[in-house]
Amino acid sequence: MKNIDSNSHVRGLSVYLDDIPLVYGTLFACVYDSPIAHGKLKSIDTNEAAASEGVVRVITAEDLIGENQIGGIVPDEPLLADGEVHFAGQPIAIVVAESEQLARKAAKKIKVEIEPLEVVTDPRVAAANERLIVPPKKFVLGDTESAFKNCEHIFEGRTEQNGQEHLYIETQGAYAVPTENGGLRIFSSTQGPTAVQRAVCRVTGLPMHKVEVDVQRLGGGFGGKEDQANAWAGICAVACQITMRPVKYALHRMEDMRMTGKRHPYSSDYKIGLDKNLKIVAYEASFYQNAGAACDLSPPVLERTLFHCTNSYYIPNVTATAYCCRTNLPPNTAFRGFGGPQGMFVIECAIAHAADKLGVSATEIQRRNLLVDGNEFPYGQLAESEAETSWAQADEKYDLTTLQREADEFNTTSKYFKKGVATMPVCFGISFTKTPMNQARSLVHVYTDGSVAVSTGAVEMGQGVNTKMAQVAAKMFGLEIGAVKVHTTNTLRIANTSPTAASAAADLNGKATQLACETIRDRLFEVAKDLVEAASVNDLSLQDGFVYRNGDKTSLGWQTLVMEAHLQRVNLSEHSHYATPGICFDWTTAKGHPFAYHVYGTAFVGVTVDCLRGRYEIEYVKCCHDFGSSMNTAVDLGQIEGGIVQGIGWVTMEEVVYDADGRLRSNALSTYKVPDIYSVPKEIAVEPLATDRSNLAIFNSKAVGEPPLMYGIGAYFAIRNAIKAFVDCTPPFDLPFTPEKVLMQLYGNAGQ
């Protein structure tokens, strides 16, 4: 089934923040942001800007009525800089004017005096200076120290990983409209309506019941709007509160790139120990996370790096330590995978390192160490593993030996083009690692004409969650999907939402919707029982718009039943709550059962490198992926393809560059390369894993949003293998593997 939005998307009829009709008298905000990365804010001169054409007000920190703070986990992020600036791009003042152009023109007239302070951009330097945002986090399984003593082979190394720009097509933005008695209605492009509501309340001093947040859909979020939509909503809210007029701010692309955080870059150390059978016996890793200038979501991202630091492998002795390092970059944030990809990359590097040194293929080491049922993860949960089954099924379907042989044969005859193949297994835990976040609510109304309205806490951002919510209700009531309308995500209808994140939105909100529909259905069955003279409600079901009794269609149609129930004064609405059962995690012991389940898969990635020019093409990504039983294969295949391409982009071409002064150099699409249609793999093949194990997913359909991104990591290792076929070398583990870096590897690391 198609995504229910596809029709309106292609006709340009879907509504995003910028399409919301503006209320008469709307003003436009624009931010003046810090030109330098660290310094003492000596003075702000707003006089010229305030006198500029069309300007209604210029707002600085001292004008705020509420608290100048939006830091959710650690209160270290002022809405507007006060006293100091901590990153280039940090908002200092808000200009509010009659038009967008006039606001931007006036913002240029603001003058600040900033006394520069030392700029730190390197997480290891930050750690050495004790600039940690939270204390280090650690996972321990077994005893690495004694295990290393018995290892046949030990290898140590270092990896560097870059950031990644979210590049959602719709930039960040918000629109605040005053409501009666000092309330606010906020339209926001956010994954977290409640996060926006909290931030707005904090900076305006309003109680939560006076602030309504409404989200129609996002033109992409990818994690970038889990926390970082808050600032823009806060800015509009403050400006609205002070001017008492509606205020809108939709960021320009370069403002967005400059002012918002990205995927966290990491610098990491590893030590891996193997026995003579290539079993990994011990693994130590230290992760230095470049958190940027404020906490944002860095600690939970860092935690997920630890949760996924052994990927799909069972390693009996693990010590993994992670440092959340404060630097003078824009605060880095959630990005598809949420730290998981960073953890997985390091273990894959350690395995590749061992393979290089031992003269075996990395694939051989990977295969011998896959998780099996009952294996313990470093965090205490026991695996229900599909690592071996997905590997075996991928191998059966795509035949890794033949793929490798074809590449080898090609390489013996081709001088300047070389092929490389790599395997990338993935094991990704589903649930927010912070247990209390794993809850959701859904409000279902059945109207007297039989049509159904659903509101949940899930935010549609292109991933198709609204289609899945409509499918849940349609299935529960035995209706066509057209009978169901999924409405905006709104904090008045659904309160205290968790953000749409962690790939868990369909599960959490789908289960809540299922419960709500079940309750309404049971009430309807009580009414139907008499109408169709059934012995018991248990004999009844709903299909194709009719009531069925013992599997046989009756003449009682859905609409008639609904109307009859209404006349009998039966409640046709329900608001249900779902909380994932059986999950827990205790940070005092760093053990627990944090995930409802894991998603597994295995991908084979093939590339061709042009060894004269350093360019490469991704030939194929062939994976066997664990969907559970997909609710919507069209949507899920789109998620897999999109995730893979985004993952490949991260490890190959996307290069976020800050200079030593902390200024973003890759600040536009002319200097930041994202995958386009020419750089996607020539083939993406997806084989559904055959498994009927039950799990906690909605209708047994496993979460699909993030896990496929990590197949993309295989592209890095495939390129590396191709290079090694051209020249005897051991390329450093340094992402992204841009064509420039490939070329330097091919020709003796020119420039060093």
Closer CB to ligand MTE, 631 or 715, in the complex: 631
Q: What is the per-residue binding string for ligand HPA in 446-485, x denoting contact by CB under 6 A?
A: ----------------------------------------
**Minimum CB distance to ligand MTE, residue 705 (Å):** 3
Distance between CA atoms of residues 78 and 202, nearest Å: 11
Distance between CA atoms of residues 212 and 202, nearest Å: 14
Closer CB to ligand HPA, 300 or 739, in the complex: 300
Provide CB contacts within 8 A for 656, sequence distance 6+. 162, 163, 164, 165, 262, 265, 664, 666, 672
433 touches, from ligand MTE, ligand MOS, ligand HPA, none (C-beta below 5 to 8 Å by class): ligand HPA
Which residue from 371, 501, 528, 596 is in contact with ligand HPA, where contact means CB under 6 A? 501
Closer CB to ligand HPA, 88 or 437, in the complex: 437
**Minimum CB distance to ligand HPA, residue 726 (Å):** 39
Closer CB to ligand HPA, 500 or 667, in the complex: 500
Q: Nearest-CB residue to ligand HPA?
A: 502
Distance between CA atoms of residues 581 and 592, nearest Å: 13
Q: How far is CA 132 from the centre of its chain?
A: 24
300 touches, from ligand HPA, ligand MOS, ligand MTE, none (C-beta below 5 to 8 Å by class): ligand HPA
Which residue from 193, 261, 300, 457 is in contact with ligand HPA, where contact means CB under 6 A? 300
490 touches, from ligand MTE, ligand HPA, ligand MOS, none (C-beta below 5 to 8 Å by class): none
Residues 216-255 close enough to bind ligand HPA by CB under 6 A: 226
In this structure, are residues 304 and 137 in contact, taking their beta carbons and an 8 Å threshold?
no
Q: How far is CA 571 from the centre of its chain?
A: 38
Instruction: Please give the backbone phi and psi of residue 146, each rounded to the nearest 5 degrees, phi first.
Output: -75, -30
Q: Which one of 213-221, 428-436, 481-489, 668-676 is the stretch in contact with ligand HPA (CB under 6 A)?
A: 428-436
Side chain identity, residue 510: G
**Minimum CB distance to ligand HPA, residue 297 (Å):** 6
Q: Which one of 69-77, 296-304, 619-627, 678-686 is the stretch in contact with ligand HPA (CB under 6 A)?
A: 296-304
In this structure, are residues 431 and 595 in contact, taking their beta carbons and an 8 Å threshold?
yes
**Minimum CB distance to ligand HPA, residue 229 (Å):** 14
Q: Which stretches does DSSP call E strand in 391-550?
A: 417-430, 439-446, 452-456, 484-486, 489-490, 540-543, 546-549
Q: Give one DSSP letter per residue of 386-397, joined into a string.
A: -HHHHHHHHHHH
Q: Given the DSSP bridges, would you call strands 27-33 and 247-250 parallel, antiparallel or unpaired?
A: parallel
**Minimum CB distance to ligand MTE, residue 350 (Å):** 26
Distance between CA atoms of residues 109 and 101, nearest Å: 13
Token duo for residue 184: 């606010």
Provide CB contacts within 8 A for 271, sequence distance 6+. 148, 154, 155, 156, 282, 283, 284, 285, 350
Closer CB to ligand HPA, 273 or 340, in the complex: 340
347 touches, from ligand MOS, ligand MTE, ligand HPA, none (C-beta below 5 to 8 Å by class): none
**Minimum CB distance to ligand HPA, residue 139 (Å):** 15
Which residue from 190, 328, 433, 463 is in contact with ligand HPA, where contact means CB under 6 A? 433
- Cis geometry, peptide bond prior to residue 35 (ω within 30 degrees of 0): no
716 touches, from ligand HPA, ligand MOS, ligand MTE, none (C-beta below 5 to 8 Å by class): none
Per CB under 6 A, 434 contacts ligand HPA: yes
Active-site choice (130, 396, 706, 740):
706
Number of other CB atoms surrounding residue 392 within 10 Å: 16
696 touches, from ligand HPA, ligand MOS, ligand MTE, none (C-beta below 5 to 8 Å by class): none
Per CB under 6 A, 377 contacts ligand HPA: no
**Minimum CB distance to ligand MOS, residue 334 (Å):** 4
220 touches, from ligand HPA, ligand MTE, ligand MOS, none (C-beta below 5 to 8 Å by class): ligand MTE
Per CB under 6 A, 502 contacts ligand HPA: yes
Closer CB to ligand MOS, 174 or 218, in the complex: 218
Q: Give one DSSP letter per residue of 65-86, joined into a string.
A: SS-S---SSSS---SS-BSEE-
- Which residues does residue 622 pair with via DSSP β-bridges, in sequence order? 604, 685
706 classed as catalytic: yes
Q: How far is CA 562 from the centre of its chain?
A: 40
> What residue ranges bind ligand MOS (CB under 6 A)?
191, 223, 226, 334-336, 338, 501-502
Instruction: List, edge to edge, every strand of the sheet that includes 111-116.
Output: 84-85, 39-45, 111-116
Cα end-to-end distance, the chain, whole Å = 54
Closer CB to ligand MOS, 334 or 347, in the complex: 334
Among residues 598, 515, 529, the alpha carbon closest in space to that of 561 is found at 529
Closer CB to ligand MTE, 15 or 750, in the complex: 15
**Minimum CB distance to ligand HPA, residue 22 (Å):** 32
Provide CB contacts within 8 A for 203, sequence distance 6+. 64, 66, 67, 68, 69, 70, 79, 234, 237, 238
Could you tell me how many residues of this chain bind ligand HPA (CB under 6 A)? 12
236 touches, from ligand MTE, ligand HPA, ligand MOS, none (C-beta below 5 to 8 Å by class): none
Which residue from 334, 350, 484, 532 is in contact with ligand HPA, where contact means CB under 6 A? 334
Q: Please tell me whether residue 323 adopts helix, strand or coil conformation.
A: strand
**Minimum CB distance to ligand MTE, residue 515 (Å):** 18
Closer CB to ligand MTE, 246 or 643, in the complex: 643
> What residue ranges bind ligand MTE (CB under 6 A)?
220-223, 336, 461-463, 465, 500-506, 639, 642, 703, 705-706
**Minimum CB distance to ligand HPA, residue 707 (Å):** 12
Closer CB to ligand MOS, 223 or 246, in the complex: 223
Q: Nearest-CB residue to ligand MOS?
A: 223
Among residues 602, 601, 605, the alpha carbon closest in space to that of 683 is found at 605
In this structure, are residues 61 and 81 in contact, taking their beta carbons and an 8 Å threshold?
yes
Token duo for residue 241: 């509160």
User: Percent helix, strand, coil in the chain (nearest 5)?
Assistant: 35, 25, 40
Q: How far is CA 56 from the centre of its chain?
A: 38
Side chain identity, residue 244: M
Provide the 8-state DSSP code for 682.
S
Distance between CA atoms of residues 80 and 90, nearest Å: 8
* CB burial of residue 566 (10 Å; 0-12, 13-18, 19+): middle
- Per the listing, tokens 């009927």 go with 692
**Minimum CB distance to ligand HPA, residue 504 (Å):** 8
Closer CB to ligand MOS, 226 or 386, in the complex: 226
Contact set with ligand HPA (CB under 6 A):
226, 297, 300, 304, 334, 338, 432-434, 437, 501-502
The residues assigned a catalytic role are 706
